[in-house]
Amino acid sequence: MTTFWVILNVVVMLVLVGFLLWLQKKHVSFTKRVFAGLGLGIVFGVILQLVSKPDSDVVTKSTDWFNLIGYGYVGLLQMIVVPLIMVSIISAIMNLKGKQNLGKISASIIAVLLITTAIAASVSIVTSLSFNLKAIEIQSGDKEQQQGAKLEERLGDVKDQTIPQQILEFIPTNPFEDMTGARRSSTLAVVIFSAFIGIAVLGLDKKKPEQADTFRKMVDAVYAVVMRIVTLVLRLTPYGILALMAKTIATTNADSIVKLIKFVGASYVALIVMFIIHLILLALFGYNPAKYVRKVLPTLVFAFTSRSSAATIPLNVETQTKKLGVPTGIANLAATFGATIGQNGCAGIYPAMLAVMIAPTVGIDPLSWDFILTLILVVTISSFGVAGVGGGATFASLIVLSTMNLPVALAGLLISVEPLIDMGRTALNVNDSITAGVITGKILGENDKEVFNKDVDLDVATA
């Protein structure tokens, strides 16, 4: 009987994929197809929840087949992340007017990311205190205790590392190893390595112009090929979102959400408040928040469903350049820096909220100004090098909690609602990187405001 229901569920998924394909052939806009995939995924997931339990064999085996579409799509995006980062940054730096511009761009982007992370930590602290969140009130089961033990084990990897030692990890001692994503700081290491190549080409302009010109042509050719691959993969976005959302909804334990509803609610209140702050910042720099939201929503939806800032980099860059008018160089730097530095959701809101919840268990008053100011500073500094894939928030929390001398095992109490919260955190992370790109381009006077004001749908299906 289980096999029958699994086959039926897979057939339904294929029918829904066929419907999205039909919409594409009818030239329905990319944005509408993305939201159609999101809506169909939610409905299908709810139906699976009602018919079968989240941990049943039917749901487990059905979603395993769904993963071919959902995680297959995420895998293809991750496949092109490193090549895209490398050729985009090398190309962008090669075409800069001078090395000083690179410094200004990088400094501006990192400043926006870190400032907004400090604000996110402050928002999280206020929200946690307003909801009166306390870790001691959360019941612990076998699953939570096992997760707590795992966190204690992972703490050994970072507990003894000083800040200088953590910074040294960013150096690409073996760039080819970093291209495989072997380390948590691999993405940032690839960025640094690519920046060195770009700067070296600028240096060749005066000494060996012919070689510099030859290398430029090679990079331009590779860049064109990589961007074509990006276009081909992005065409699959509606189908990937459909499968990812169906699996997420179908496998989410509703009972666990109810038990931790106050924490889930507080988390999303903090995330929404921070998103509004992003819009306020953009408005201060002369951008229409409503128009901005319409243009970035499909990218944020993918970030929400995939739970990976790194996998969202291609969509992130396309949105900044084609919809918001941000120059390619700034867009690539903002997207890649934002996937590893100053993530407002994973490295800002989440660790700060955990620290406020856990502090009373060891006799620390979370209302103390010493605690609050120290927490904001620690969160901001530790936001460097947070991995842009699932698990980045956990790593950031380990660093923050251990630095604040708080027990990390209590963070395992939230394992049952972690995926649900992580979706919102990732969307905020990506929005912060986009905001950093737009603001940096505006500060340097390089944004194309006409592109932002133009109502254009990024229909990659016809690109």
Amino acid at the residue 235:
R
Residue 325 lies in a domain: yes
d(CA 287, CA 279): 9
First to last CA, the chain: 45
Residue 430 placed within a domain: yes
In a domain, 185, yes or no: yes
CB 277 within 8 A of CB 116: yes
64 lies in a domain?
Answer: yes
Full pLDDT tens readout for the chain, 463 residues: 788 888 899 999 999 999 999 999 988 888 788 889 989 998 999 898 888 877 788 888 999 999 999 889 888 877 887 888 888 788 878 876 554 577 888 899 999 999 999 999 999 999 999 988 887 655 555 554 555 455 555 555 555 566 677 677 778 888 888 888 777 677 778 888 988 998 888 888 888 888 888 998 998 899 889 888 888 888 888 999 899 889 888 887 776 666 678 888 899 999 999 999 999 999 999 999 999 999 999 899 888 887 788 778 888 988 999 999 998 888 888 988 888 788 898 889 988 998 998 888 888 898 999 999 999 998 988 887 665 555 566 777 777 877 788 877 666 666 667 778 888 999 999 999 999 999 999 998 889 988 998 876 555 544 4
Q: What is the CATH number of the domain that holds 76?
A: 1.10.3860.10
Task: List the one residue out of 77, 35, 26 whose CA is nearest residue 461.
Answer: 26
Alpha-carbon distances, residue 279 vs 169, 300, 320, 457 (angstroms): 33, 14, 15, 21
Please check whether residue 401 is in contact with residue 241, taking contact to mean a CB–CB distance below 8 angstroms.
no
According to DSSP, the residues that pair with 384 across neighbouring strands are 341
What is the tally of structural domains in the chain? Answer: 1
**Residue in the block written with tokens 């291609």:** 314
The tokens of 95 are what?
A: 């075409």
Q: Looking at the domain assignment, is residue 460 inside a domain?
A: no
> Does any domain span residue 197?
yes
The residue segments making up the domain with residue 95 are: 2-455
Q: Which residues on adjacent β-strands are paired with residue 341? A: 384
96, part of any domain: yes
**Residue 105 is assigned to a structural domain of this protein:** yes
**DSSP H or E run through 338:** helix 328-338
| Integer Cα distance of 427 and 306 in angstroms | 9
Q: What is the pTM of this model?
A: 0.81
How far is it, in rounded angstroms, from Cα 147 to Cα 151? 6
d(CA 84, CA 461): 19
